[in-house]
Structure 1
């Protein structure tokens, strides 16, 4: 900061950020609210001014709100979308200052020290800021002061501007809650008769420190400028996108592939610089009639080899209708994963890479989510000892049955006619008459009582490995509680 220049901070509070975000895409006349389920109760998450005038408020049960306001319109809240929208507003606000941070879930903080003169002064900057936000359909409350705490207090409790060097005079009438204190501390201060910041600033500090700790006085000093508080601008996430403007429209598949190759070389250099690889790529081809055609590619492993990725693009690029020509191409890695340099051996890594490439090639035809693999699961119940997951998002793991063998083929239990606790000497299964040659067991498996599985409601099972004279090696079990015999698997 230059000598003689006082620090100035703007706080932007969007009290209806979530509802404003939704209503920007389609205006709704009358009461409107967003709802969110909390602890099995559907409550109001955010609402517009019309709903507030009807007496509704945040945290109110949605059923009660509908009783008070029968014409209330609602939609489910999407907090993750709200945070993405707030992040976009933060990037937009850098037009006023490079030092912009996010304040909580619904606010921004800007350090405009030395920047206000670029807009004709603080008044002109605030006017321009408000007009642009109003044009976006956003309700905003703005505070400006020497400190982050003072700007926040003004934005939330007395929208306005605190003259430079007069923080106590501006904040004195505001309630102590304007110091960003928790509810319990605010209640305790009110019981002591300290309701405003001015009263708190005049109170003896030692008793306050003993009772409330250093946090209370730290917030007071930060607001009045007696203790520094930094504003840390968020680092922009890396953008993995490249584009190519063509002087003349192209339409041949070979030309589109050549343009894609140039884009891939530039994109893969970006990926290599950040030691990442692409898992999902999107190629946008804009035609001269301003219509766009998208080609998406999903990979079974992170990759940054331009030649290999280009060969995978070839199939879908050939299906694109170029119309009267393509004059703009854009390639973006929409999902990336770490891919650091590593030394590989021909015995292991090459085999895995080859399998991933095969999954990718098949996935471009049938979809990666349709290629699945079996993985072991932590359960001693045979039916729950494995799970089926997409092969592209998982790694192969070896099954370990311990000291107990498990059949290669497993199917739902099939009943057979037999009695007694030991395997029958002769039985019929799948229209075959089989004779027991030898039997190994029993292995008793108890049900997992914490899971509601109707197939195991009969209780525990005694499993046997039965070798028949006909060559079949089957996995049988007996249920002592409700006597019966079943075949559930066959060994190789």
Structure 2
């Protein structure tokens, strides 16, 4: 790609990536460490410089660390958040070159071939890079060489720069561990007296290959440049955004909807290629006075069908203040979810699609999270036999299974005055008098002892279905351990 130009690679290593990320948001004075549970033991995952000076190290038991350093401040590690932070740093590093990839869980690799002159040379580029990372509160080790292996070795074992064509001179004094070898192999080489890379290059290759296999010589050749090693830049995620400029400003709702339809067709085609569907869409309408109006549409299900999405925009577009006219429209899917292609058939009903569109329409008025549905839960306790979930982020249950009928209307228990273990012949509830006509039961429900619920932990209930002469069908229960009668539900 760059004929006649020496390849130049930068390795960025963040030895305290996790702790630096946390301390950027909430600084701490004194020793600080992040802990992570490994093999049923809480161990040090990452720590700051003060804690390292105090004698703590990674992998140390947290209980030993607290005994050794009582003033240690700790928090739980979050490797997933660390990965997201490293992805952010990778995007930031694109300002220096277009080829940036990950180097493990705490590093980046940059192919700056042909890019350094844009910053005044390699020295100026590295100075700018270090300065910006230091200003952001991040400790970074930087290595620069002709190969990826050389850059990694310099970043981890001797932070510095290998001049073009002088890789061996820069790597010779470094430990053999700088070749990215397994720890067992490093120990074995050191026992043979091969302490650094210079000594390794002078040793006979055939005996080394027989004893250690091809990996040792491959790593050495990759570092010295005699064997190529590619840098695979991280693929940028697809961008789901399209725009259109109008030939003349317009304030007509029909014109805006026509432009919206054209944008939806283009956007849905992109979504189809990636087998994805939009959950949140944002339509931006730019006016001639440079102000913008935004119409956000949150969908109950992932969609990529322009014909179904367009009518859902109509209400939001009708409320837009066009001012002196709209001259540009932009559509972006701000939240996308996987939507694999499915086999369609003429016997498939569209009732589910109609329900999803109805939930979306109601959600645009009252908020999508306020449209909820009941779902069954695996519990025989009446209060725990169902959950309330957002209709947009859940699917309806195929059916409710219960060995005994349950009331359609259920509420917290309300006490009534009655004596005895059988339902009373007459009682008062909610300032109304009732006379018992027919009863069914009892159904004894025992507590779920494994749950932390003081009401049900040591209690049991005998439930009865009571039909009254007044026409009300109530669900009563009796508590034998603490005699009393309660009403908890009503049948239709």
TM range (shorter): 0.7 to 0.9
Partner of 2:433: 432
What is the CA RMSD across the aligned residues, in angstroms? 4.8
Preserved contact between residue 423 and residue 439 of structure 1 (Cα < 8 Å) = no
Residue aligned with 2:351, SS: helix
User: d(CA) in 2 for partners of 1:447 and 1:216?
Assistant: 64
- Distance, in Å, in 2 between the alignment partners of 1:214 and 1:446 is 67
- For residues 166 and 2 of structure 1, the distance between their equivalents in structure 2, rounded to whole angstroms, comes to 19
Residue 386 of structure 1: how far off its partner (Å): 0.9
- 66 and 327 in structure 1: CA distance in 2 versus 1, 3 angstrom threshold: farther
What are the residue-to-residue correspondences of 1:373-392 with 2, within 5 Å? 373-392=373-392
CA 1:282/1:87 → structure 2, altered by over 3 Å: closer, same or farther? farther
Answer yes or no: is 1:82 the counterpart of 2:85.
yes
Hey, what's the Cα distance between the residues in 1 that align with 2:220 and 2:242? 48
Report the TM-score when normalising by structure 2.
0.75
Deviations 1:134-186 (A, max 9, x none): 57555654323354333112122222233567655433433455345678987
- The residue number in structure 2 matching 1:357 is 357
Number of residue-to-residue matches in the alignment: 472
CA contact (8 A) 2:17 2:82 kept: no
The whole-number CA distance in structure 2 between the counterparts of 1:292 and 1:18 is: 39
Is the CA contact 2:172–2:199 (under 8 Å) kept in the aligned structure 1? Answer: yes
* 1:483–1:186 distance in 2 versus 1, CA, 3 Å: farther
Cα–Cα, structure 1 residues 191 and 308, in superposed 2: closer, same or farther, change >3 Å? Answer: same
Greater mean deviation of Cα atoms: 411-420 or 373-382: 411-420
Structure 2 runs not aligned, ≥5 long:
none
Shift, 1:252, TM fit: 4.0
- Aligned match of 2:405: 405
User: Residues 470 and 254 (structure 1 numbering): CA distance in 2 closer, same or farther, change over 3 Å?
Assistant: closer
2:122: which partner in 1? 126
Q: SS in structure 1 opposite 2:396?
A: coil
Q: Which residue of 2 aligns with 1:272?
A: 272
Match status 1:343 vs 2:344: yes
Pairs within 5 Å for 1:90-489: 91-95=94-98, 97=99, 100-111=100-111, 115-116=113-114, 126-127=122-123, 129-130=125-126, 133=129, 136=132, 140-162=140-162, 167=167, 169-175=169-175, 177-180=177-180, 196-197=196-197, 223=223, 229-337=229-337, 338-345=339-346, 349-430=349-430, 431-442=432-443, 444-489=444-489
Deviates more, 1:284-293 or 1:375-384: 284-293
1:352-388: per-residue Cα shift (whole Å, max 9, x none)?
A: 1111111111111111111111111122221111111
CA contact (8 A) 2:426 2:433 kept: no
User: Is the CA contact (8 Å cut-off) linking 2:171 and 2:198 kept in structure 1?
Assistant: yes
CA distance in 2, matches of 1:268, 1:364: 21
Tell me the distance in 2 between the aligned counterparts of 1:472 and 1:215: 81
- TM-score normalised by structure 1 residue count: 0.75
Task: Report the 3-state secondary structure (helix = DSSP H, G, I; strand = E; otherwise coil) of the residue aligned with 1:161.
Answer: coil
Shift of 1:483: 2.8
Give 1:315 shift. Answer: 1.7
Distance verdict in 2 for CA 1:436–1:29, change over 3 Å = closer
**Alpha-carbon contact 1:458-1:479 (below 8 Å) kept:** no
Given that residues 372 and 389 in structure 1 are in contact (C-alpha distance below 8 angstroms), is that contact kept between their aligned partners in structure 2? yes
The 8 Å contact of residues 478 and 486 in structure 2, kept in 1 or not, is answered as yes
Inter-CA distance 322–300: structure 2 relative to 1 (3 Å threshold): same
